[in-house]
Amino acid sequence: MTRRSSSGRDTRSPIPETGSRWRFAAGQSWSLCVALGLVVRTQTLAGLPEPTVNAIFGNCGTIASYRVSGQDAEELVREFGVSGAGTRTAEQWMDLIVPAAELQNLPDYKMYLRTLVDGAPRDPERVKAFPPLSPIGHGPAQRQTRRERVTRTSLERFGRDRAQVEAELNRFLSAA
């Protein structure tokens, strides 16, 4: 295993971690040695143990947040930077303030994103995301084509000539 002190960051190979129960707090020091990339997503922050939440926010470089609950909004406001509570210092005057109410009321496909650039955090930005892609053959134009194809196939398999059906009905009804 490569030790952090013996190699530079560029020589470490990234290791993607996929697992639902990885002990983040315990593996934190190990993850720094091997440039671990970890994506954490959860329904609410309350579903994670507090040491895990602290370890995640203490080590993450990028935070992306769609519409969240009030409790999660309060937590994320602190992580996005200046909360707007209290007086602002001269250094904080130009910082973007993301109110908790705005995190709770984001429209569909909008999110706040905070990233690191050259190791320094940037102000959070409101970003428009793309809506989910529809599966191939399920768009509006394909839906009509698909409907026509189903109708045509159904007529070919189960349809009969109208004159033939009427003749059979007349023969059946006259016999009764």
Q: What is the 3-state secondary structure (H, E, C) of 108-161?
A: CCEEEEECEECCEECCCEEEECCCCCCCCCCCHHHHHHHHHHHHHHHHHHHCCC
pTM over 0.75: no
Higher local confidence (pLDDT), 85 or 50: 50
In the predicted model, what is the mean pLDDT of the chain? Answer: 75
Q: Percent of the chain, pLDDT > 90?
A: 15
Q: How far apart are CA 129 and CA 44, in angstroms?
A: 21
Q: What is the pLDDT of residue 56?
A: 82
Q: How far apart are CA 76 and CA 63, in angstroms?
A: 9
Alpha carbon 52 to chain centroid, angstroms: 20
Kindly tell me the burial class for residue 155, based on how many C-beta atoms sit within 10 Å of its own C-beta (0-12, 13-18, 19 or more).
exposed
Domain boundaries, the chain: 1-54, 61-132, 140-175
Rg of the chain over Cα atoms, rounded to whole angstroms, equals 29
- With 90 as the cut, is the pLDDT of residue 111 above it? yes
Kindly tell me the burial class for residue 60, based on how many C-beta atoms sit within 10 Å of its own C-beta (0-12, 13-18, 19 or more).
middle
Higher local confidence (pLDDT), 142 or 59: 59
Q: What is the pLDDT of residue 3?
A: 40
Alpha carbon 143 to chain centroid, angstroms: 26
- With 80 as the cut, is the pLDDT of residue 23 above it? no
